[in-house]
Structures are given as structure tokens and as C-alpha cells.
A and B are shown apart, each in its own frame.
Chain A
Amino acid sequence: MSILLPQPRLPNKAVPKYLDFGADQKSAMGGAYQRLNRLGNRFSLDISYPRLKPEPDGRILGAALRRAKTEGALFPFPQPGLIIGMPGVPVIDGAGQAGSLTVLRGFTPGYVVRAGQFFSIIHGGQRYLHCVNEGQDWQADNVGRLFLPIHPILRIVPANGAVCEFAQPYIEGIVSGASIDIELTVAKSQMPVITIIERA
């Protein structure tokens, strides 16, 4: 079970990364470049904190981070400036969905999902982060149903009724790095850059 990392204050920097397993096949002598995509593209997130007060912030976050190294980490995915509003209780509508077009139900009727808005799908107790495609905003119909084009393509086949977290999406995954180094200096604790990589 992943450990929810506390936020004693907002990180001063967060870098969402889109991990690409495809390849840009480049011809060394001026030939055409080709793009090859592979399955499994997903997200990671780098989180940088400023120096924290050692008591209690540094102590508590340090403990959570050490446990997250072995158990996995859960962190609210930041979307600064985005007014999310009241999405309702969106869930996957219909079993057997795959690819990059999802059908959801349970939105607040008329709720508008913004282009580029993130959400996480809970499947098998694990969260999978996805992003709504660019181009246009999408409005739920009067029964709260919505077709959403998303990226990256679904890496799982979510069950009918799988919860989709729009109000607060989370990234869940392993904490990168071979050790957890917390630097204690005079009256401050410096956390390492926390990198959370989605497992699948």
C-alpha cells in the first residue's frame, strides 16, 4: 500500500515528466527521421521542497519518505492555477475500455473538463495518471456522461465503475533513488528531490 506523502507546505518546484518509451529514429546522414511508438508511456513527478523546519515538518515528511521508498508513494498531482470546481463522482462507464477514448459517467451535469486536465483512474488498488487531450474543453451532458479523449493510452482495462479522480488526481509509484538522503543543517531540513515514477 502506497504511502501518502504529506505536504507541510507547497513544493517550490514540481516537474511532471512524460516518460516516453518510443524512439525517434534518426538517420545519421540526413535521411528521413522516423517516429516509433511503444506501449507503456506514463508519468513521473519530481518534487522539490525548500528547506523545511525540522520540527515537525522535516521529521514527519522524512519518515513518510523512507517508508514510501519500500512501499511506494502517493502524491497529489499539482495543477497550479486550474480551478477544478465540483466534478461530481466520475467513474468509468462500461467494462472493457481500451485505447485513448474513455467513457465516463457520474459527473456533475454540465461539468466542464478542461483540455489538458489531469485525472487518475483507480484500478486494482493502484492509480494510473492520465491527461485529457488538448484541443477543446469537454462538457458533461445532463446525466453526467462524457466521452473523453485522453493520453497516454490506457495501460490497464479498468472495470466498469472504476473511480476516476478529477477533484484531486494523484500520482502513485515508486520513489526513485538508491537511498533517501535528508540533509540536516542548522535549524533546517533539506529534503532530496523526490521522484515518483508510475509503476505501469
Chain B
Amino acid sequence: MSELTPQLEANLRGPAPLVFGAISIDLPDASVNLLDGAGVLAFGGRTFVGKDDTYGAISDVENLTDGTGDSAPAFSMTLIPSGDAAAAVLSGPEMQGSPVYVWMGAVDKTTGLPIPDPHLVFIGELDVPTLKSDEQGRLLDYEVVSVFERLFEDDESARLSDGFHQSIFPGELGYVFVTGVAQEIYWGVAGNNISKAVTSYPSSSYGGTVYSRQYNI
């Protein structure tokens, strides 16, 4: 329990703590900050609500599980989109890879403020959205994977060719007229300027700190 602040730890040890879970999804156009229950809480520069008027509410969240072997830590969550437009936006392909943060914490019942500080449990990315419509509802399932998922990229598509080179360094014409490369250059060696193509994530207790390379294809 040492990762929690003393205040949070003391509150959770009390006879009847008021706990909450919070999820942030930083979509390309907007940040969706949702609580598991109805309410409003502000922390970490974000204001969390039970229901986002534009995007909807959390239905449920699966257990966070660690991954073994060739699977990364992952969980799935179910959202209730607030309307057709929200369902379409949230299940769009460009939402994939959006950072997802999961916090847990406790609330002071009198002031309604979160006990400092809520614990950041998980950082990951949106993986696969699945929109399910049936007789009595419409739900959106999201698979969320840890950034460790990026470690399983085996770079099979990386080629020392003009097309691939320019997909990472646009406008860099060093390979334009190269039809066969005599000397192979390995990715990731010192001297490669790949700063623009790297995303860094802050550390969480679950996701760890990982730098991932994003191909701008």
C-alpha cells in the first residue's frame, strides 16, 4: 500500500470509505473524463463527471489484469455513448492509440473533494472499439492495452527504403535514388534522430514507463 499517499491510505482504512474509479481518455479532439458513479470530482487538472454530455458514461470496467507470456496488461471497459454521434466518434479508427488513464481514490463525504492524491493505476492506449447494438441497448466495448503492447511490435515492416524512410522522416530524400543498399543500418542505434516519432508516457504503477515509436504511415 506504500504507493498511496498517507491521507488516502488512512481514509481507505476507515470504517466506511467512499471510493471512486475514474477514467480519462485523451481523444485526438477532446478529453473524456468519467467517473464510475454519478458525481463531479476535480483533480489533476481534470474535471471528472458521471456522464459526459457529449460522449456518455461508463457502464462497467473489467478487472485489470497483468499479462504473461506474449500478452500485455489489458482490460476492457464498456461505455454508454450519449447518442449516435458519440457512438460514431468513439468507435472511429482514429481513436485507436488514444492514451487512457485509470485512477482510484476516495472522496471526503463532507467537502465532496477527492482525498489527495488519487492513485494512478493504469496507463494504456485504446485498442479495439466494438459497438454493440441490441434490442434493449447500445454499448461500446473498448479494449485498453498497456503501452507494453508496443513492445510486441516486431518491426517486420521496417525497411531501408525511400518510402519507409520518408514515412518517418518526411522530406528526407537521402534514399530517393537508392535502389539497393549495400550497408545495412539497424534501427535504434545512437545518432538516429527519431525524437518526433517517439511518444513517452509518464509512469504508473501498472503500465511502467515505456517509449514507443509511432509510425506515421
Contacts and interface: CB of A to CB of B under 8 A. Distances in A.
A168 to B, nearest CB: 24
B109 A100 contact: yes
A153 B112 contact: yes
B51 A200 contact: yes
Interface in A3-39: 21-22, 34-39
Given A35-B15, A200-B51, A40 B39 contact: yes
A60 interface: no
Nearest to B18: A37
Contact of B40 (A22, A101, A157): A157
Nearest to A39: B37
A162 to B, nearest CB: 14
A86 interface: no
Contact of B16 (A35, A153, A157): A35
Contacts of A156: 39-40
Contacts of B18: 22, 37-39, 153
Interface string B71-109: 000000000000000000000000000000000000111
Interface string B6-32: 000000000111111000000000000
Interface residues of A, number: 22
A98 B40 contact: yes
A41 B88 CA distance: 30
Given A178-B136, A200-B51, A38 B36 contact: yes
A39 B36 contact: yes
A42 interface: yes
B4 interface: no
Interface string B39-71: 111000000001100000000000000000000
**Prevailing SS type, chain A contact patch:** loop
Contacts of B108: 99
A59 to B, nearest CB: 29
Given A155-B50, A200-B50, A38 B37 contact: yes
B110 interface: yes
B38 interface: yes
Contacts of B50: 39-40, 155, 200
B211 to A, nearest CB: 35
A146 to B, nearest CB: 17
A42 B16 CA distance: 18
Given A21-B37, A39-B36, A155-B50, A99 B109 contact: yes
Contacts of A153: 18, 39, 107, 109, 112
6 tightest A-B contacts by CB?
Answer: A99-B112, A98-B112, A39-B37, A40-B37, A40-B38, A200-B38
Interface of B: 15-20, 35-41, 50-51, 107-113, 136
